[in-house]
Each structure stands twice: as structure tokens, then as C-alpha cells.
């Protein structure tokens, strides 16, 4: 990564999620941002708009829009949001083939122009696309990470705070597993100022919050009708960029490559990760109930099904 100068962040995909992640990165003054997209004019226009927001927001970092991957050269972090969004009635696996081919092209260019970067994958189906990116990039696993758990945990924090009428700052949550209906919210690791919500809410309310968390993305898709969430996903991706570039060693739930952790091997799943300048510095293994372990294994099996689908399509 660059030292002694401003970091360079490549946001690949200048749609709603990519441009929102870029906005948050600029607002937090994490570095200069390169917005990259295949649509001519769109990344350039959004980058110009973001640059002109700088005097108002108080940042001086540069935003550059481009259709040329050469401009990501030297990026310390690449955030991949390129791909098709989920539409009403679509499952995440419906996106498999088209987004798989998009990710393949993106990774070929990252490997060529930003071979030392940390890669954060946001494109859905998230865990499957992480695995594909790892194989196409040829990077070590600690440098290819998926953004999911931070978003899912943020949604759960919101629902808990609303239910109890407390500040969201007092709520900590942990959501593991794949990014989808098989995610594994952990109520005993969800606390309000250190107090588990299982001591503050009856089981039926805890179960309702967990179920709403699992369906959080679909709830927004159903309301928007013509798109999917982007403010919270963009903020979550930027939070990961921050922990990496500032070497914060924050413990954050992210999609990471598992090589025996939690009894799972050669698969991506959401787990607690220590994020620093090397990417995933360490995966933390926490104690799970037999039911939660079973749910995590089921979640991983869904990811493996997606990986098998990529192989059948000849993408992997």
C-alpha cells in the first residue's frame, strides 16, 4: 500500500452502491477515489459531482471517474460493486451467471493494475462472488474479503434499538453465515450496553428481529420496487475500507475464506474478522450452540451450491 501519500481507493462499479461507498470514503477522508464503470460518462459525472461536494463537506481528496481500468493502478483497496442488482422476485442465485462473468472481467483487470490491493467484494450473490474473485485474482485469501456481516449486523442493530427504544450506539450485534436468507444472527452476542437481548426481550420478539434481519434486503427491494439498498451497503463497505487503510484492527463480521475454522473448509462465510492493513489479520472463532453451528453449516452449503453452479456454467 502507498506510504507517505494519500491512499488510492478504486470503486469498481459506479452505480448506487459504488458511488455511495465512494461518497462515504471521501467524507471520512480515507483517500482519493477512482470510480470505474463501463458506462461512458456516468463515473465521470458522479466523480465531478462528488468533487464539487468537497468544499461543502470539508474534504479535499480527489474523485476521478473513468472507463479505463488503467486508472486504478496503485490502488490500496478495490471495492467491487459491479454487477446487476437484485430485483423483486429474484433470488441471489438468479444473478449467478451474469454477475459471475462481470466479476471475472473485473478481477482480471485488478490483478493486472492493482496486484497489491486488498479487495472488498460487494456484488451478489456475495459469498459465491468472493470465492470466484479469490480464484480469478490468485491473491492470498486474507486479501479478498466480502462485505456482508457489517450490513446485516447494522440492520439488526437498528431493529433492536427500535424495539427497545435505545440509542443504536448502545447496541452491538453479530451476524454470521452467508449473506442471504440462511444468515445466522446470534442473539446471545447481541447486547445493549453489554446486556444480551435475550435478557431484555421475550423469545418471540428476539425471533422476530432475527427473521426481519434475514429478510432485511428483500424488505427494501419490495419497497423500492425498481432497485435495492445502497446507503447502508455503501456505508458498510466504506467501514471496511477505513479499518484496512487506517490499520485499525477492528473486529468486524465479514465474509472470509475458511480453511478449517468453524469446521468449514474451502468456502466463504461471514465470521468475526480482525481487519487491518493486510486485510483479514485473523479470524476469531466464537462458541456457537449446536443449532447455530448447524445453521452456519447449512449457510456454507448454500454457498457451495453456488460454487458448483459456477463450475457447471464454465465460469470457474
DSSP 27-72: HTT--EEEEE-SSTTHHHHHHHHHHHHHHHHT----EEEES-GGGG
C-alpha cell at 251: 473486529
Distance CA(128)–CA(302), nearest Å, equals 9
CATH number of the structural domain 149-312: 3.90.110.10
pLDDT in tens, 11-23: 999 999 999 999 9
Contact assessment for residue 63 and residue 50, using Cβ atoms and an 8 Å cutoff: yes
Among the residue ranges 2-11, 116-125, 164-173, 272-281, the one predicted with the least confidence is 2-11
Of the residues 86, 92, 142, 179, which is catalytic? 179
Distance CA(45)–CA(144), nearest Å, equals 29
Instruction: Return mean pLDDT, the chain.
Output: 94
Distance CA(85)–CA(92), nearest Å, equals 9
Neighbours of 66 (CB within 10 A): 17
Distance CA(37)–CA(26), nearest Å, equals 18
Looking at the predicted structure, is the pLDDT value of residue 207 above 50?
A: yes
Residue 3 pLDDT class (50, 70, 90 cuts): very low
pLDDT in tens, 130-144: 999 999 999 999 999
Q: Which among 195, 107, 109, 209 has a CA at the least distance from the CA of 162?
A: 209
C-alpha cell at 93: 442465485
Looking at the predicted structure, is the pLDDT value of residue 92 above 80?
A: no
Looking at the predicted structure, is the pLDDT value of residue 88 above 80?
A: no
Domains of the chain by residue range = 8-146, 149-312
Per-residue pLDDT at 91: 65
Q: What is the pTM of this model?
A: 0.95
Looking at the predicted structure, is the pLDDT value of residue 231 above 50?
A: yes
CATH number of the structural domain 8-146: 3.40.50.720
Looking at the predicted structure, is the pLDDT value of residue 271 above 50?
A: yes
Residue 179 known to be catalytic: yes
For 120, the enclosing helix (H) or strand (E) is: strand 118-121
pLDDT in tens, 38-83: 999 999 999 999 999 999 999 999 999 999 999 999 999 999 999 9
Looking at the predicted structure, is the pLDDT value of residue 89 above 80?
A: no
Distance CA(51)–CA(21), nearest Å, equals 14
Distance CA(15)–CA(5), nearest Å, equals 28
Q: How far is CA 40 from CA 9, 36, 43, in A?
A: 20, 10, 7
Mean pLDDT (whole number) for 163-188:
94
Per-residue pLDDT at 96: 87
Per-residue pLDDT at 2: 43
Amino acid at each position: 500500500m502507498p506510504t507517505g501519500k494519500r491512499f488510492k481507493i478504486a470503486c469498481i462499479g459506479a452505480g448506487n452502491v459504488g458511488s455511495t461507498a465512494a461518497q462515504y470514503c471521501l467524507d471520512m477522508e480515507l483517500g482519493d477515489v477512482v470510480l470505474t464503470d463501463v458506462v461512458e460518462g456516468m463515473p465521470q459525472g458522479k466523480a465531478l459531482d462528488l468533487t464539487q461536494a468537497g468544499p461543502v463537506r470539508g474534504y479535499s481528496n480527489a474523485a476521478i471517474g473513468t472507463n479505463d481500468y488503467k486508472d486504478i493502478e496503485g490502488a490500496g483497496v478495490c471495492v467491487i460493486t459491479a454487477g446487476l442488482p437484485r430485483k423483486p422476485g429474484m433470488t441471489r442465485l438468479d444473478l449467478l451467471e451474469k454477475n459471475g462473468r462481470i466479476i471475472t472481467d473485473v478481477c482480471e483487470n485488478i490483478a493486472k493494475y492493482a496486484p497489491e490491493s486488498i479487495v472488498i467484494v460487494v456484488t451478489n450473490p456475495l459469498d459465491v462472488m468472493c470465492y470466484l474473485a479469490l480464484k480469478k485474482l490468485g491473491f492470498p485469501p486474507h486479501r479478498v474479503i466480502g462485505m456482508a456481516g457489517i450490513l446485516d449486523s447494522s440492520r439488526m442493530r437498528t431493529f433492536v434499538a427500535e424495539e427497545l427504544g435505545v440509542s443504536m450506539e448502545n447496541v452491538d450485534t453479530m451476524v454470521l453465515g452467508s449473506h442471504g436468507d440462511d444468515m445466522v444472527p446470534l442473539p446471545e452476542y447481541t447486547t445493549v450496553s453489554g446486556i444480551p437481548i435475550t435478557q431484555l426481550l421475550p423469545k418471540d420478539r428476539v425471533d422476530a428481529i432475527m427473521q426481519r434481519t434475514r429478510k432485511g434486503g428483500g424488505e427494501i427491494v419490495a419497497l423500492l420496487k425498481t432497485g435495492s439498498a445502497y446507503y447502508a451497503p455503501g456505508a458498510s463497505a466504506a467501514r471496511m475500507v477505513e479499518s484496512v487503510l487506517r490499520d485499525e484492527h477492528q473486529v468486524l463480521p465479514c465474509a472470509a475464506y475458511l480453511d478449517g475454522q468453524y469446521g468449514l473448509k474451502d468456502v466463504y462465510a461471514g465470521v468475526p474478522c480482525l481487519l487491518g492493513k493486510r486485510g483479514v489479520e485473523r479470524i476469531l472463532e466464537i462458541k456457537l450452540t449446536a443449532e447455530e453451528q448447524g445453521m452456519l453449516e447449512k449457510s456454507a452449503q448454500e454457498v457451495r451450491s453456488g460454487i458448483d453452479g459456477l463450475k457447471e456454467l464454465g465460469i470457474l
